[in-house]
Amino acid sequence: MIRGTFERELRDLQDRLLALGSEVGENIVKAVNVLNQRDLIGARRLIDADKEVNRKRIEIMTDALVLIATQQPMAGDMRLIASIIEITGELERINDYSKGIAKNSLLIGAVSLPDVIGHMPEMASKTQLMLRDALEASSRRDADLARAIPQADDEIDALFNLTYRDLLTYVADNPGSYELINYLEWALHNLERAADRVINICEWVVYNVTGEYIEMDSEFEAPPAA
């Protein structure tokens, strides 16, 4: 192989990206679980674990820049490395949202939750699946798969709207709960934003494969009034 060293280093970057993506996907689900189950120790662990995600992101990005400097990649190699840098940035932001949900959990404290966030575990699972598929698309250079993933975000948005309505309804009926509901709204917002970041990852996968960057955001829909 003419560029054996370069090929190995590229594969290593991709493998590390996939491993980081898998960890970040698990953290989304964990974050909602610790919120739901009032697991404050688990919440603290998640917050601390974010430092490690940040470190891995910086490492991948730095190694990618070294590859650019030393190997002068062109065409598909260059687009791959550019997309790896961007995708690790998106993964780091997704994990920030998981950390945010864990922080909301700590702020809520050791109180039980009203039955208003029933859809959030499903939102977290769907987001994890979206992320898994996006990383699969990246690994297989499958632009068609990447283009199909944003449709799943519509389902997450629908669940967001339902949950948001439930929160508004609850606080309208229970005005003393506004602080609790406020933290839950932030957690819900973080979860919805995590899914949006997965769409950004899909955009970078398509760019890597086709050389064209096309935005895939779904149309904005305001949540329903309470």
Partner 1 sequence: MNAYYGDFRAVKNIDIQIKPRQITALIGPSGCGKSTVLRSFNRMNDLIANSRLEGEILFHGQNIYADGVDPVEVRRRIGMVFQKPNPFPKSIYDNTAWGAKINGYKGDMDALVERSLRQAALWDEVKDKLDQSGLSLSGGQQQRLCIARTIAVKPEIILMDEPASALDPIATLRIEELIQDLKRDYTIIIVTHNMQQAARASDYTAFFSMDEDRAGYLVEYDQTQSLFTNPKNELTEQYITGRFG
Integer Cα distance of 28 and 119 in angstroms: 14
Q: Which of the residues 25 through 84 are near partner 1 (CB under 8 A)?
A: 72-79
Q: How far is the CB of 1 from partner 1 (least distance, A)?
A: 8
Q: How far is the CB of 55 from partner 1 (least distance, A)?
A: 30
Nearer to partner 1, 186 or 213 (CB): 213
Q: How far is the CB of 163 from partner 1 (least distance, A)?
A: 42
Q: Which stretch binds partner 1 (CB under 8 A): 33-41, 92-100, 195-203, 204-212?
A: 204-212
6 binding partner 1? (CB under 8 A): yes
174 binding partner 1? (CB under 8 A): no
- The answer to whether 98 touches 194, Cβ cutoff 8 Å, is yes
Number of residues counted as binding partner 1 (CB under 8 A):
14
Among 125, 139, 182, 210, binds partner 1 (CB under 8 A): 210
3-state secondary structure of 225: coil
One-letter amino acid for residue 80 of the chain? L
CA angle at residue 138 from 136 to 143, to 5 degrees?
A: 100
Among 3, 11, 45, 55, binds partner 1 (CB under 8 A): 3
Nearer to partner 1, 187 or 209 (CB): 209
- The answer to whether 190 touches 87, Cβ cutoff 8 Å, is no
Nearer to partner 1, 6 or 186 (CB): 6
Q: How far is the CB of 88 from partner 1 (least distance, A)?
A: 21
Q: How far is the CB of 139 from partner 1 (least distance, A)?
A: 19
Integer Cα distance of 39 and 175 in angstroms: 26
152-161 b/e (C-beta count within 10 Å ≥ 16 → b): bbeebbebbb
224 binding partner 1? (CB under 8 A): no
Q: How far is the CB of 84 from partner 1 (least distance, A)?
A: 16
Q: How is residue 130 written in tokens?
A: 């979206």
Among 109, 118, 211, 224, binds partner 1 (CB under 8 A): 211
Residue 78, Cβ density class (10 Å: 0-12 exposed, 13-18 middle, ≥19 buried): middle
132's CB contacts (< 8 A; 6+ apart) are: 21, 22, 25
Distance of CA 164 to the CA centre of its chain: 20
Residues engaged in binding partner 1 (CB under 8 A):
2-3, 6, 72-79, 210-212
